[in-house]
């Protein structure tokens, strides 16, 4: 099983310790979160980010909230507060739904212990899920390695690596599995403006010794056109019943260019990201994070401090849809913990899912 170099989420007594991802890749700083408000703020501000990690962290947030008391009113406050933090990643609602189903039938006095236990089950389960996605997805890279000399050239977008989960990641799990098997891999990492989560991916890959190149988001098309990409793998934040998949904004453009140039485009996502109640991509809520993130960029100044630098005056108009939807017709397969499936056949893999 993949061991995270720094745990993204761990219990620490009556609190949790998380990696502050707003400081990465410049600083590796952990934060201790001991109140419901602190957990909710960490998710909303993206100190904790990535769909599976958001879900597991929210589950622990419910437990922390119940330290005060295990009443119905307190449980309702916890569920409502956490559900309001981010709209697109359905893992958040999946995890909160699991917590409510486990806790609501219990007497108030029994809820706290059960909440810690259920949150830990969700955290550990996510690590196992990532491992299974890696084990299934690595076959795609092995197939490429068998037919060409040189490294398998994977393109990804945003960060769907270990930082986004409690395990090896989703889109990067097959990459790590291939690397562990001695398959040469090179990853094209798009920077993913405005929040630059691609730089988190580059940081992860560098730490793991996986060769990679950061590219400007706009460079993906020329690399696909030149035949320099064997396959694209991204994560997802919500997959609709028909296979339409919401992921970080910019994913859709890669899928379009991949289709134009005959390059397979795969989504790696666990059941906790699949929303069978959502018929298609048009029903997926898309987070709008406001203009400030587009008007600035974060980096390290010459004095070594991490700083936000304005790119335009704060009166310049800007728009910031944080996700887009890739239609199922552009997706070659969705790699899940139960194997890879054409996007329209997901139900066959999870017949029991609600």
Does 247 bind ligand MRU (CB under 6 A)? Our answer is yes
According to CB under 6 A, which residues from 254 to 283 bind ligand MRU? none
Kindly state the number of chain residues that form the binding site for ligand MRU, as judged by CB under 6 A.
Answer: 18
DSSP string, 43-78: HHTTSS-SHHHHHHHHHHHHHHHTTT---HHHHHHH
The residue at minimum Cβ distance from ligand MRU is 235
Question: Please, which residue, 152 or 236, has the CB nearer to ligand MRU?
Answer: 236
Please give the backbone phi and psi of residue 101, each rounded to the nearest 5 degrees, phi first. Answer: -60, -35
Sole binder of ligand MRU in the list 164, 166, 177, 199 (CB under 6 A) = 164
Separation CA 307–CA 142 (nearest Å): 41
Separation CA 52–CA 175 (nearest Å): 18
According to CB under 6 A, which residues from 17 to 56 bind ligand MRU? 46, 49-52
CB of 115 to ligand MRU, least distance (A): 24
* Structure-token pair, residue 326: 């890739």
Q: Is the peptide bond before 25 cis (omega within 30 degrees of 0)?
A: yes
237 catalytically annotated: yes
Let me know the angle formed at the C-alpha of 45 by 170 and 166, rounded to the nearest 5 degrees: 25
Sole binder of ligand MRU in the list 22, 159, 196, 201 (CB under 6 A) = 159
Sole binder of ligand MRU in the list 170, 245, 272, 341 (CB under 6 A) = 170
Separation CA 300–CA 1 (nearest Å): 34
Let me know the angle formed at the C-alpha of 133 by 129 and 135, rounded to the nearest 5 degrees: 115
CB of 19 to ligand MRU, least distance (A): 13
Counting every residue written for the chain, the total comes to 354
Assign residue 95 a region: left if phi > 0, alpha if psi is -120 to 50, beta otherwise? alpha
According to CB under 6 A, which residues from 207 to 246 bind ligand MRU? 234-237
Catalytic residue among 20, 76, 230, 237: 237
CB of 106 to ligand MRU, least distance (A): 31
Specify binding-site residues: 49-51, 86, 197, 247-248
Site string for ligand MRU, 83-122 (x = CB under 6 A): ----------------------------------------
CB burial readout 50-85, b (16+ within 10 A) else e:
bbbbbbbbbbbbbbbbbbeebeeebbeebbebbeeb
Assign residue 182 a region: left if phi > 0, alpha if psi is -120 to 50, beta otherwise? left
CB of 47 to ligand MRU, least distance (A): 11
Specify binding-site residues for substrate: 49-51, 86, 197, 247-248
CB of 298 to ligand MRU, least distance (A): 14
Contact residues for ligand MRU, defined by CB under 6 A: 46, 49-52, 158-160, 164, 170, 197, 234-237, 247-248, 322
Active site residues: 237
């Amino acid at each position: 099983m993949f061991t995270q170099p720094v745990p993204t989420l761990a219990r620490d007594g009556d609190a949790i310790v998380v990696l502050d991802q707003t400081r990465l890749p410049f600083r590796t700083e952990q934060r201790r979160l001991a109140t419901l408000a602190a957990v909710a703020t960490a998710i909303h501000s993206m100190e904790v980010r990535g769909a599976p990690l958001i879900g597991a962290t929210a589950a622990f947030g419910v437990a922390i909230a119940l330290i005060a008391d295990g009443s119905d009113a307190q449980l309702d406050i916890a569920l409502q507060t956490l559900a309001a933090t981010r709209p697109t990643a359905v893992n958040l609602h999946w995890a909160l739904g699991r917590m409510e189903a486990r806790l609501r039938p219990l007497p108030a006095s029994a809820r706290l212990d059960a909440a810690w236990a259920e949150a830990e089950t969700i955290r550990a389960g996510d690590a196992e899920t990532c491992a299974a996605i890696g084990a299934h997805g690595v076959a795609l890279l092995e197939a490429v390695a068998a037919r060409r000399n040189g490294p398998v050239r994977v393109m990804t977008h945003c960060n769907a690596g270990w930082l986004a989960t409690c395990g090896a990641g989703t889109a990067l799990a097959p990459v790590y599995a291939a690397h562990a098997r001695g398959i040469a891999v090179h990853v094209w990492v798009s920077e993913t403006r405005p929040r630059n989560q691609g730089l988190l991916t580059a940081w992860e890959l560098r730490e793991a010794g996986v060769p990679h190149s950061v590219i400007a988001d706009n460079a993906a098309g020329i690399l696909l056109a030149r035949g320099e990409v064997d396959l694209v793998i991204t994560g997802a934040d919500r997959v609709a019943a028909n296979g339409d998949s919401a992921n970080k904004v910019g994913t859709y453009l890669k899928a379009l260019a991949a289709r134009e140039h005959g390059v397979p485009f795969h989504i790696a996502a666990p059941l906790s990201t699949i929303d069978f109640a959502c018929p298609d991509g048009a029903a997926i809520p898309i987070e709008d994070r406001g203009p400030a993130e587009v008007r600035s960029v974060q980096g390290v100044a010459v004095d070594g401090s991490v700083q936000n630098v304005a790119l335009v005056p704060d009166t310049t108009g800007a728009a910031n849809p944080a996700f887009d939807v890739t239609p199922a017709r552009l997706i070659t397969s969705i790699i899940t913990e139960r194997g890879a499936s054409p996007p329209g056949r997901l139900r066959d893999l999870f017949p029991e899912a609600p």
